[in-house]
Amino acid sequence: MKRISLVAAFSLAVLVVGAASAADTMTAPFVTPMHDADIDYVMVGPGGQHLHQRMRWNSQMWRQRVDPEGASTVMLTDYRLHRLMVLDTTLKTATVTEAPGESFSAPGTPAPGAWKQVGPATIAGEPCVIWEAADTDNKPTDFCYTADGLLLGATQSGRLVVQAASVNRASQSAELFDPPAGYHRIDPKH
């Protein structure tokens, strides 16, 4: 999957009204949320099981938090500093590395690369536009993005990879994007 940002954010009422005609002339989607967001995604695991993952985005700080269901880890990404921090909630550690991905599209900036617009869709009650492109492994993938940069779904060869189950366009507290007090920081570069 494109790791531009698992993955989002919003204020859709005004944007969607103009999105249909604006999307028709766009050559690439916005792939970074323009507003704060809290999204529950369903992913299909290797054995076909459905796994949930909660993604939160703070648009002012350009920070993302990903909480995989049932895992003892939380991923905090700061896209301004290009830093990934993996929290181990069992060991109370915060391991810091460079964020994956070679590029980051700022909110409101169309994604780089070759994109082909396929058509409209609705996922989790939200309108989005399906775009064909290659993922980070160069596999052909269909992505569905809202007009304000929220990833709602992705499929490869007709197989579901990820899909939003719920979307909440609400302010996200800055504290969510830092490790809690008492965590020991591990920086492998030092």
Task: Give the total residue count for the chain.
Answer: 190
Domain at 12-186: CATH code: 2.50.20.10
pLDDT at res. 104: 83
Helix (H, G, I), strand (E, B) or coil at 177: helix
Helix (H, G, I), strand (E, B) or coil at 54: strand
Strands (E), 4-157: 37-44, 50-58, 63-68, 73-78, 83-88, 93-98, 116-123, 126-134, 140-145, 151-156
The phi and psi torsions of 174 (rounded to 5 degrees) equal: -60, -30
pLDDT at res. 82: 93
> Does the CA dihedral 76-78-138-35 come out positive or negative?
positive
pLDDT in tens, 59-81: 999 999 999 999 999 999 999 99
Pair type for strands 93-98 and 184-186: parallel
pLDDT in tens, 77-97: 999 999 999 999 999 999 999
Long-range contacts of 64-73 (CB under 8 A, 24+ apart): 64/5, 64/6, 64/7, 64/177, 65/172, 65/176, 65/177, 66/6, 66/7
**Which segments of 82-144 does DSSP mark as H helices, in order?**
none
The helix (H) or strand (E) run that includes residue 38 is: strand 37-44
pLDDT at res. 26: 83
Q: Which residues of the chain have pLDDT under 50?
A: 1-22
CA proximity to 43, closest of 72, 69, 77: 69
Which amino acid appears at position 173 of this protein?
S
Torsion of CA 71, 173, 126, 121, to 10 degrees: -60
- Domain spans, the chain: 12-186
CA angle 173, 74, 83 (to 5 degrees): 80
